[in-house]
Structure 1
Amino acid sequence: MDMLNTISLSTPAELLAATPHMLGFYPTESLVLSTLHRRESTTQLGMTLRVDLPNSTYAQEFAGYLLTGPFEQHPVDAVIMLLITDNASPGLPHTELVTTLRDTLNQASISTLDALWAPAIREGAPWRSYLDPTRSGTLPNPAISPLAAAQAVRGSTTRPSRQDLHALIAAEDSEQALSAKLAALRSQPIPAPSETLPHRIHTVREALQATAAGKSLSEEQLLRVLIAVADTRVRDLALSAALGDWSQAADELWRTLIRKAPTPERGEVASLLAVHAYLCGDGPLARVVLENLEQSQPDHRLGALLHQALDQGIPPAELITLVNGAAHGILEELGWGTNPFTASTQA
Structure 2
Amino acid sequence: MNANHHETSGPSRTQQITLRGPAELADALPFMLGFHPTDSVVLVALHGERGRFGGRVRLGIPRSPGEWASTADHLAECLVEGGARNGTRPDGIVVFLCQDPEGGETGRRVMERLRPFAQRLRTACGALDIPVYEALCISDGLYFSYCCPDARCCPPDGTPLALSGTSVMAATAAYAGVQVRGSLRDMEGRFKPTGGPDEERQRAALDATAARIVPRILEDAEGKERKEVRETTLRLAREVLRRFADPERPSRKNAQGPANAGRTVAGTAAGDAADDALIDTDEAAALILGLQDRVTRDRAAEWMEGWEGTAALRLWRVLARRCVTPYQEHAAAPLSLAGWTAWSTGDEPTARVALGLALDADPEYVFARLLHQACNEGLDPESLRSCLRTERDGRTASEQAATSAARRVRMRTARPQSTRQTLRKPGRQTRGGAGRPPAGVRPGGPAAAKPGSKTPRPGGQRGTRSGR
Same fold (TM > 0.5): yes
After TM superposition, list the pairs within 5 Å mapping 1:154-173 onto structure 2.
154=177, 156-160=179-183, 162-172=184-194, 173=199
| 2:27 equivalent to 1:17 | yes
Aligned-pair CA distance for 1:72: 0.4
Aligned-pair CA distance for 1:140: 1.1
3-state SS of 2:53 partner: strand
**Inter-partner Cα distance in structure 1 for 2:356 and 2:347:** 15
| 2:335 equivalent to 1:315 | no
- Return the match for 2:45 from 28, 35, 42: 35
TM-score w.r.t. structure 2 length? 0.57
3-state SS of 1:171 partner: coil
Aligned-pair CA distance for 1:14: 1.9
After TM superposition, list the pairs within 5 Å mapping 1:173-184 onto structure 2.
173=199, 176-180=203-207, 182-183=209-210
Name the residue aligned to 1:72: 81
TM-score w.r.t. structure 1 length? 0.74
**Overall identity of the aligned pairs, in %:** 23
3-state SS of 1:241 partner: coil
More helix by percentage? 1
Name the residue aligned to 2:440: none
Letter in 1 for 2:357: N
Name structure 1 gaps, 5 residues minimum.
339-347
The structure whose Rg is larger is 2
Letter in 2 for 1:101: L
3-state SS of 1:14 partner: helix
After TM superposition, list the pairs within 5 Å mapping 1:253-332 onto structure 2.
253-261=315-323, 262=327, 265-310=330-375, 313-317=376-380, 319-329=381-391, 331-332=393-394
Letter in 2 for 1:315: G
What is the alpha-carbon root mean square deviation over aligned residues? 3.9
Letter in 2 for 1:15: L
Aligned-pair CA distance for 1:97: 3.6
**Inter-partner Cα distance in structure 2 for 1:324 and 1:157:** 30
Aligned-pair CA distance for 1:281: 4.5
Shift in CA distance, 264/46, structure 1 to aligned 2, threshold 3 Å: same
Aligned-pair CA distance for 1:336: 5.3
Name the residue aligned to 1:139: 161
- Return the match for 2:129 from 106, 109, 133: 109
Shift in CA distance, 169/223, structure 1 to aligned 2, threshold 3 Å: same
Shift in CA distance, 15/252, structure 1 to aligned 2, threshold 3 Å: same
**Inter-partner Cα distance in structure 2 for 1:102 and 1:117:** 13
3-state SS of 1:246 partner: helix
Letter in 1 for 2:207: A
**Inter-partner Cα distance in structure 1 for 2:232 and 2:175:** 39
Name the residue aligned to 2:302: 240
Most deviating of 233-242 and 270-279: 233-242
Name structure 2 gaps, 5 residues minimum.
1-7, 84-88, 100-105, 215-224, 249-257, 259-277, 401-468
Contact 1:170 1:259 in 2 (8 A): yes
Aligned-pair CA distance for 1:260: 2.2
Name the residue aligned to 2:433: none
Contact 1:95 1:130 in 2 (8 A): no
Greater relative contact order structure (CA < 8 Å, 6+ sep): 1
Letter in 1 for 2:370: L
Contact 1:21 1:151 in 2 (8 A): no
Letter in 2 for 1:279: S
Shift in CA distance, 51/267, structure 1 to aligned 2, threshold 3 Å: closer
Contact 2:91 2:131 in 1 (8 A): yes
3-state SS of 2:301 partner: helix
Letter in 2 for 1:10: L
Contact 2:45 2:53 in 1 (8 A): yes
Tell me the number of residue pairs that the alignment of Structure 1 and Structure 2 aligns: 324
**Inter-partner Cα distance in structure 1 for 2:313 and 2:357:** 18
Contact 2:111 2:144 in 1 (8 A): no
Shift in CA distance, 31/229, structure 1 to aligned 2, threshold 3 Å: closer
Aligned-pair CA distance for 1:45: 1.0
**Inter-partner Cα distance in structure 2 for 1:78 and 1:103:** 13
Aligned-pair CA distance for 1:285: 3.7
Name the residue aligned to 2:423: none
